[in-house]
Amino acid sequence: MSDRVVDVDIHGLVAPGEDVHLAWSDLTRGPDLVWTERNGGHWIAVNGDLIRTIYKDKVHFSNRDASLPVPPPEFRLSPANDDGLDHEEARAILAPYFRPQVVAGMAGQVRKLSAELVAKLAPRGSCEFMGEFALVLPVEIFLAMIDLPLADRPVLRALAEQMIRESEEDKRNAGFEAAARYLMEWLDRRAAKPGEDVLSAIATATFRGQPISRQRQLSLALNVLLGGLDSTASMTGFIMGALARDPASRQWFIDHPGQRRQAVEELMRRHGVVNNLRVATCDVELDGVTIRKGEHVYLINALHGLDPRLYPDPLKIDFSRKPQPNAVFGMGDHRCLGANLARMEIGVFLEEWLAKIPDFRIAKGETPVTRSGPVNGMEYLPLEWSPARGAASVSQD
């Protein structure tokens, strides 16, 4: 058992200047299931096949807890932390807004905003990518989806950061409380005057044959808010950080317009962001050890994509890899509803960026800053390029 004990704090995995994905990949050199005493003690599944097994096991593992330390019940997320019929009904309320045809209909809006942002940045020759692009594009698209004021973006982003990456429990809960107050005000408005947006659907839904409770409304709204404000922005930052160091991959993307969906999948595989938690519903044996009832297991999506048994030389971006199911958006019934939207946004923004700024790099003398937590994040990404260089031609798929 001693060889399975590691000193890993999911909220403080890396120091400033360190790469969070390299830090996670270090675990692949050891046992497939490890234990840390941090955050009350929990297991971490390292092996990709083991991660897949736990994701799909609805008998021995529950989704009821969002993260460690476990948030108060009033701040649980739905459908993310639901099981069984509760999960099915909650997911059905949100699913119509993330269907492929709905997402496809948003592509023009994403392309227009991407082009506008790139056009403003290109003549400057530099930017801090997170603040000036990654935390603008997906967040503005998301706020339009749920019909919230764009002026509220800075406040909501700060709350998302506090809820997701704050290591001090009191401060994290304070973020949830502030977000709850904000959301309930808007849910009450939508209940009185519904629209066609996601919040209106939540405010007017029925659940298990009864009018939806205020607590369920809040759980659904918090889930949507956190998903829309953080994970795609983080993924976008990691991808751009990698491409800034990899001119060959940038050129491949430009030269192969018919294979860009495959390229986006590989870029996401390499840079998993979400770390999901499961709790054992009974004693269960995995990988030669017994996980006791009530013990928690973190499923690090990045570790599935960085497993060398599934992906040879996993740290390398290789657009020739044969596509296979991955855990970037989770697996099984709880797979992320926003997966299609994230893929579309990433593909469209890369086309627009590389058409105007094909040759860019990490700014000289600067170091990107990454963070761990329930969602791995890129906090600071300074980029630079020559504004005089001609743009490549990136045709649309």
Average the pLDDT over each of 23-32, 99-108, 383-392 and give the range with the smallest value: 383-392
Per-residue tokens: 72: 């108060």
Residue 274: name the closest of 299, 243, 295 by CA.
Answer: 299
Tens-digit pLDDT profile for residues 226-251: 888 888 999 999 999 999 999 999 99
**What strands lie across the sheet with 382-385, from one edge to the other?**
126-128, 382-385, 360-362
Q: Report whether pLDDT(320) > 80.
A: yes
Greater confidence (61 vs 164) lies with: 61
pLDDT at 388: 62
Please report which confidence band the pLDDT of residue 10 belongs to, taking 50, 70 and 90 as the band edges. Answer: very high
Q: Are 17 and 369 in contact (CB under 8 A)?
A: yes
Please report which confidence band the pLDDT of residue 258 belongs to, taking 50, 70 and 90 as the band edges. Answer: very high
pLDDT at 71: 84
Please report which confidence band the pLDDT of residue 16 belongs to, taking 50, 70 and 90 as the band edges. Answer: confident
pLDDT at 395: 42
**If you average pLDDT over residues 142-160, what whole number do you get?**
91
**If you average pLDDT over residues 190-208, what whole number do you get?**
95
Q: Are 219 and 72 in contact (CB under 8 A)?
A: no
Q: Report whether pLDDT(15) > 70.
A: yes
3-state helix vs strand vs coil in the chain, percent to 5: 50, 15, 35
Q: Report whether pLDDT(391) > 70.
A: no
Q: Report whether pLDDT(397) > 80.
A: no
Q: Report whether pLDDT(309) > 90.
A: yes
pLDDT at 152: 92
**Is the link from the previous residue into 79 a cis peptide, with omega within 30 of 0?**
yes
Q: How far is the C-alpha of 367 from the C-alpha of 373, rounded, in Å?
A: 20
Please report which confidence band the pLDDT of residue 73 belongs to, taking 50, 70 and 90 as the band edges. Answer: confident
Q: Which domains are present in the chain?
A: 2-380 (1.10.630.10)
Would you give the end-to-end CA distance of the chain in angstroms? 52
Q: Report whether pLDDT(83) > 70.
A: yes
pLDDT at 194: 96
pLDDT at 390: 42
Please report which confidence band the pLDDT of residue 164 belongs to, taking 50, 70 and 90 as the band edges. Answer: confident
Tens-digit pLDDT profile for residues 323-380: 888 899 999 899 999 999 999 999 999 999 999 999 999 999 999 999 998 999 999 9
pLDDT at 389: 52
Residue 24: name the closest of 368, 328, 304 by CA.
Answer: 304
**Is the link from the previous residue into 374 a cis peptide, with omega within 30 of 0?**
no
Q: Which residues, 6+ apart, have CB-to-CB distance to 194 below 8 Å? A: 200, 203, 204
